[in-house]
Structure 1
Amino acid sequence: MLEPLVAHLITSAARTLTGARSLWLGCGPEPVQRIYFANHTSHGDFVLLWASLPPPLRKTTRPVAGADYWQTGALRRYVINQVFNGVLIDREHHDPQANPLQPMLEALEAGDSLILFPEGTRNQEDGVQPFKSGLYHLAKAHPQVQLIPVWIANLNRVMPKGRVLPLPLLCTTSFGAALALQEDESKAQFLERSRAALLALAPEHS
């Protein structure tokens, strides 16, 4: 099949262009169901994070992406659907009665792991924007799933907006310790604790 070859080419290119390295600081690359939640500065974030996982984990780990971006154009549709088996969400709420989390809930129920960006949109500034509530609801619905913060460093500087060729900067994906929703923890408390755990992995905060 063509898709595994395309996936190999994309992941190899991502690692080569960024000099990417994975730092498993608080957990190991274990074959357990997880939600990897990361900071979001580039459309290439999920590609680099996915490429940072060992090949066996990539097979069951699906990036969550906005349908409004990835469903425009045949090439994007092919990459997200056939190569990465992405979980597409409706960020524009075309059906107000639909639960926007349903595709993610179904993926978790099927035993898949997810790559999620809780800020909800790309952040061009330093730091991390407040998290949307999705991570909380997924953690509440599937308490058995490990929540792994992942800090992606330098990717927005490797390929800044408007640049044709990448800059030779080292990128890292730093994987932190697993989190879980605590008993009687409020949504606000959980989201802030998760955000703090992600920020703690950033080089300027470590």
Structure 2
Amino acid sequence: MSFFKKHIAWLIDQLLCLFVAFITGVRPKRADTLPFTPQQKVYFANHNSHGDFVLVWISLPRKWRMHTRPVAGADYWLTSSLKRFIIQNVFNALLIPRNSDNPQAITEQMATALTQGDSLIIFPEGTRNTDDNTLLLPFKSGIYHLAQAKPDTEFVPIWIDNISRVLPKGKILPIPLVCHVQIGDAIKLQENESKEEFLQRCRQAMLNLAPNHFQAASNPTGDAS
């Protein structure tokens, strides 16, 4: 990246953080308040809007997020020069084909990024949940396959509350409302743990962070792999 692009990207980062903090009240957390170290992680969160990964990203201490890459759909973010610049130069996202018929290649992309020392932000539901009556959509199996490929990696559950009202589907301008980003304890794939068990454990770890501590029983895990 050129000197000029680096400074533009830095400026956009600063302005974006200030704007999002003003709109939602979400601010970076201090490193000493988080229950884990900054080594590469996979942060996984519920998915309600295009603003989700931004809230997760700015919630991390600044030094940490400089090495954290959201996993994003190439088909959406590469459709204009502005979106391409932001996703590649500001967020350094790992761009993947959302409708790929080769999920193994996507897992390999993410595993390579972790091997190189980056952290990732993913959304195991795979798509935005726009159903007000469904707390979480069934998890895709990609998070399990990634854990299999990188069994020593820690997976950190995150719950984002209220963002769907700030940036409803189809809207461009956000509505100022207070949001909350709850970050839980890191978990790892256990020895001989099945896909269903791991998905259920990840799901429950997220639900434990939700308001009123919703129970997983209210939404079966499912597996839309």
TM-score by length of 1: 0.91
Distance 2:172 2:54 in 1: 18
2:179 aligns with: 171
For structure 1, the 5+ residue unaligned runs are none
Distance 1:70 1:20 in 2: 24
1:19 to 18, 25, 45: 25
1:191 to 173, 177, 199: 199
Q: Does 1:138 align with 2:165?
A: no
1:4 aligns with: 10
The RMSD of aligned alpha carbons is: 2.1
Distance 1:184 1:140 in 2: 10
Q: Does 1:149 align with 2:157?
A: yes
Higher percent of residues as helix? 2
Give 3-state SS (helix, strand or coil) of 1:42's partner: coil
Matched-pair contact (CA < 8 Å) for 2:45–2:124: yes
1:77 to 79, 84, 92: 84
Which residue identity lines up with residue 166 of structure 2 in the other structure? V
Q: Does 1:105 align with 2:111?
A: yes
Out of 121-130 and 147-156, give the one that drifted further.
121-130
Q: Deviations over 1:12-38 (max 9, x none)?
A: 2111111125679x9436322110000
Distance 2:37 2:141 in 1: 27
Q: Does 1:127 align with 2:135?
A: yes
Matched-pair contact (CA < 8 Å) for 2:167–2:173: yes
Matched-pair contact (CA < 8 Å) for 2:51–2:167: no
| 1:66–1:182 distance in 2 versus 1, CA, 3 Å | same
TM-score by length of 2: 0.83
Which residue identity lines up with residue 149 of structure 2 in the other structure? A
Out of 196-205 and 60-69, give the one that drifted further.
196-205
Out of 26-35 and 52-61, give the one that drifted further.
26-35
1:182 aligns with: 190
Distance 1:135 1:96 in 2: 15
Which residue identity lines up with residue 129 of structure 2 in the other structure? N
Give 3-state SS (helix, strand or coil) of 2:155's partner: strand
Paired residues, what number?
A: 204
Which residue identity lines up with residue 80 of structure 1 in the other structure? I
Distance 1:164 1:42 in 2: 11
In the TM superposition, residue 7 of structure 1 has moved relative to its aligned partner by 1.1
Q: Does 1:62 align with 2:69?
A: yes
Give 3-state SS (helix, strand or coil) of 1:99's partner: helix
